[in-house]
Structure 1
Amino acid sequence: MKKISILITILLTIASCKPDHPKNYMTLAGKIENSKDSVIILKGYQLTKKIDIKANGTFKDSLIIKKKGNHLFFIGGIKRFVYLDNGYDLYLKGNANKYEEGFTYEGIGSDTNNFINAQYTFSRSFGEPTDFFGLEKDAYFKRMAIIERGIDSIENLFDNVDTTVLKQSKRLNAQFLRNMKDENIYKIQRQRYLELKAKKDKIAKGQPSPEFKNYLNYKGGKNSLSDYRGKYVYIDLWATWCKPCIAQFPVLKKLEKEYKNKNIVFISIATDDDKTAHSWEKAKKVWRDAVKKFELKGVQLFAGEKQFTINYLVGTIPRFMLIDPEGNIVDNDAPRPGDPALKKLLDELEI
């Protein structure tokens, strides 16, 4: 009997001494304060997962991660990156009213995610790097010294950051600082900044709007911006291939109807060109077909050139702008048709 007891004891001891096998899954749980959303969507390598949020804001699920790394975390119309790996037991905390501040984490895997979040928060705190070149030389390099100390502090703040993440972060930060501390790069970027600022100043509020001339009108003839002096002009720059542009049509038509017979004209300018349509004639046909298909109202114009968009420094569409009856700029990047801020602006102008 003693021999059997000893044998059982030995077997239990051996079993307890065996190395743990790493889990082939992870657990993600957490709580979102003030959340009005009912689901979280996670996307990563060979992974798309919906996680239900309870009425009290809590959630929990198990995940099999095919490839460790950053995964997209969608909630409430925003997206964040969450670093996931099998073996993690991660608890996430956030506030729906403060998504811009990111999340905080507890549990296994928290150091890596808190490290990433700390870097994100720090980068937001010092603004856009391109804006640094607006500083005079001494102020600029003092700012770089402050940023370098901040980066060093974050890199030493957490003990258990994933080695791949930490190594990559150090490499990218070193490259960033090396470039930003280079005096020759500063001189070049400073000159570019000043040139761009001069262009932006030309389209600032109150400045005369750049003109467009002889744009083809869907209803016949040609029109220029000067034809609409005496009225406010709300311009929509769009293209037939632009889905976000097309998504604005219903609310734009509703707005046009609401302000009918008031001192404002709504002009939609199609920016299709010969490159996207392979010829100018085809571009015009595609534009005409789209105006008919979507039953667009207001003034429908076809640009046929790019100088107007170049003068307005347009990088993406849709883009909206508001011009006053004297032809001066009210807003060179006006709110979209469905944005309550636009209605507020138009009411303030007593249109």
Structure 2
Amino acid sequence: MMNNRLLTTIIAILIGFVFSCNQDSTVKISGTISNQVNDSIVISGPNVKKTIRLNENGEFLDTINISTNIYTLIHGRERTNMFLKPGYSLSISIDNKEFDESLTYSGEGSSNNNYLAAKMLNSSLNPTDYKTMYSMDEDNFIKHINETKTSELAFLNSFENNNTTLDNELKSIELKEIDYKYLVSIQRYPVYYKFYGKKDPKTSDNFMKPLEDLNFINNNDYQVSQSYKSLVLSHFLNQESIDNNINDHFKDLIESNANDIKKDVVFQGKYSLRASSDNNEVLYNALTALSNDSTQISELTDLYNKLSIIKEGMKSPEFINYENYKGGTTSLSDLKGKYVYIDVWATWCGPCIAEIPSLKKVEKLYHNKNIEFVSISIDVRDRPVYNYDKWRQMIEEKSLGGVQLFADNAWDSKFTKAFVINSIPRFLLIDPDGNIVSGDAPRPSDQKLIEMFDSLGI
């Protein structure tokens, strides 16, 4: 007779085997890509970024361990969403010259993915006209996004009527995505209207009401919905909310288990740490409280420490012997005795070029005043198209004034790195003694710049 200890051990092994079988999280993916642009595809999703090699015929075969349902297949610049569940065995066919039009699936799980492919093709054939959409007044805008929502629901229902019923999980995700996309449009309206309409929008008191009851800490929806992800990141990275009350703004997120949201908020939130900001310490503390990633915290700390030595009133980092368009070289020390307003820019930067007309107006307004206007190009000297020659050409074509300089090592110039410049345009203001007035000064198009100059008696 088998003893009780041995019997218990055997039962435990059997239970573990059955449980592990039931918990299989693998998906088999195979297929062919014709006219491929490289030798691989990438499957990307939460905690997964797997590269699958193509053979000489563009064929591939592999298995993937999944933890959620929505993943992205990437080949070159093309990409498409996929719906995956344990046990799926998908075969994919793509002609990369007509990616959207040719994408088809067969095998277990194919009907759900053919829906996503049809949805992507429909979107590419009927692109959103954002300029028209965000130039509408409130009533017409609300009418438009309601019609869009109705159209998207009709497309989903039509696919099911003409093909097959979607998996319940995918249908739930898609219905939420339609709702979230509607809310994203509302959330973006004030900013996008100002950009496209060139004026402040006029909205009713209830315009933002649909967003009031939204839960911004749903980690499951964050993993599978791009629109929800956009809503969440825009909410937590809203500069006005960060500036007003950082601790209250992040309190619920810090206390939650929404690790994917936390990680992305910290990753993008570091760009809200700004030179000359009074909120850097509080924001740094909040972001480190959100993260449990030692590498991420180390990067935040490094950035915070760099910003701590370029505060208002501190000695400015110097640029030395930058090439001057008019000949010779110029250093910051050559301009001592005057305020120096510095524009860090590049010929390829659209927002930089958009500031040029305003910069010219400010230069004219303060001509013969106690201030020098300096523009420092961080173009790469030997880069194709946008380079040293393009810099000189653009100065001539646009009749740029002020002191036009070319940085010694583009983004990696010591001066650029010392001011932690990771996006352009960036504007700096230095006082006559070489001390920092602002490491992130207002743009020429911002009335606050004139107010700052006037407050300094320039």
TM tier, shorter chain? 0.5 to 0.7
For 1:139, the equivalent position in structure 2 comes to none
User: Counterparts in 2 of 1:58-137, with a 5 A limit?
Assistant: 59=143, 62-63=147-148, 64-65=151-152, 69=177, 71=181, 73=185, 75-78=189-192, 95=203, 103=211, 116=228, 120=232, 124=236
User: Counterparts in 2 of 1:1-351, with a 5 A limit?
Assistant: 46-48=126-128, 50=132, 52-53=136-137, 59=143, 62-63=147-148, 64-65=151-152, 69=177, 71=181, 73=185, 75-78=189-192, 95=203, 103=211, 116=228, 120=232, 124=236, 146-148=255-257, 172=260, 185-274=292-381, 276-277=383-384, 283-305=387-409, 306-351=413-458
Query: Which structure carries more helix by proportion?
Result: 2
Query: Residues of 2 paired with 1:319 and 1:97: CA distance?
Result: 35
| Shift in alpha-carbon separation, 1:118–1:287, aligned structure 2, 3 A | closer
Query: Residues of 1 paired with 2:234 and 2:189: CA distance?
Result: 22
RMSD: 4.6
| Shift in alpha-carbon separation, 1:234–1:118, aligned structure 2, 3 A | closer
| Shift in alpha-carbon separation, 1:97–1:326, aligned structure 2, 3 A | farther
Q: Which amino acid is 2:127 matched to?
A: L
Q: Which amino acid is 1:248 matched to?
A: E
| Shift in alpha-carbon separation, 1:250–1:101, aligned structure 2, 3 A | farther
How high is the sequence identity, in percent, across the aligned residues?
A: 35
Query: Residues of 1 paired with 2:376 and 2:328: CA distance?
Result: 15
How far residue 125 of structure 1 moved from its aligned partner, in angstroms, is 8.8
Instruction: Confirm or deny: 8 A CA contact 2:342 2:428 kept in the other structure.
Output: yes
Query: Residues of 2 paired with 1:44 and 1:244: CA distance?
Result: 28
Instruction: Confirm or deny: 8 A CA contact 1:242 1:317 kept in the other structure.
Output: yes
Instruction: Confirm or deny: 8 A CA contact 1:235 1:321 kept in the other structure.
Output: yes
Query: Which structure carries more strand by proportion?
Result: 1
Query: Residues of 2 paired with 1:55 and 1:119: CA distance?
Result: 22
Structure 1: gaps spanning 5 or more residues: 1-42, 80-93, 107-111, 128-134, 136-141, 152-170
Query: Residues of 2 paired with 1:189 and 1:246: CA distance?
Result: 34
How far residue 267 of structure 1 moved from its aligned partner, in angstroms, is 0.2
**What whole-Å deviation, never above 9, does each CA across 1:48-82 have from its counterpart, x for those lacking one?**
25565467986355233367546462534338xxx
How far residue 191 of structure 1 moved from its aligned partner, in angstroms, is 3.3
Instruction: Confirm or deny: 8 A CA contact 1:272 1:304 kept in the other structure.
Output: no
Q: Secondary structure at the match of 2:369?
A: coil
Higher relative contact order (CA 8 A, sep 6+): 1
How far residue 190 of structure 1 moved from its aligned partner, in angstroms, is 3.4
How far residue 143 of structure 1 moved from its aligned partner, in angstroms, is 7.8
Q: Secondary structure at the match of 1:62?
A: helix
| Shift in alpha-carbon separation, 1:53–1:176, aligned structure 2, 3 A | closer
**What whole-Å deviation, never above 9, does each CA across 1:94-130 have from its counterpart, x for those lacking one?**
9578988873599xxxxx99x9499739962999xxx
Q: Secondary structure at the match of 2:368?
A: coil
How far residue 261 of structure 1 moved from its aligned partner, in angstroms, is 0.7
**What whole-Å deviation, never above 9, does each CA across 1:205-257 have from its counterpart, x for those lacking one?**
11111110111111111100000001000000111111111111100000000
Query: Residues of 2 paired with 1:231 and 1:144: CA distance?
Result: 46
| Shift in alpha-carbon separation, 1:334–1:100, aligned structure 2, 3 A | farther
Query: Residues of 2 paired with 1:77 and 1:183: CA distance?
Result: 27
| Shift in alpha-carbon separation, 1:55–1:312, aligned structure 2, 3 A | same
Instruction: Confirm or deny: 8 A CA contact 1:53 1:59 kept in the other structure.
Output: no
Query: Residues of 1 paired with 2:403 and 2:210: CA distance?
Result: 43
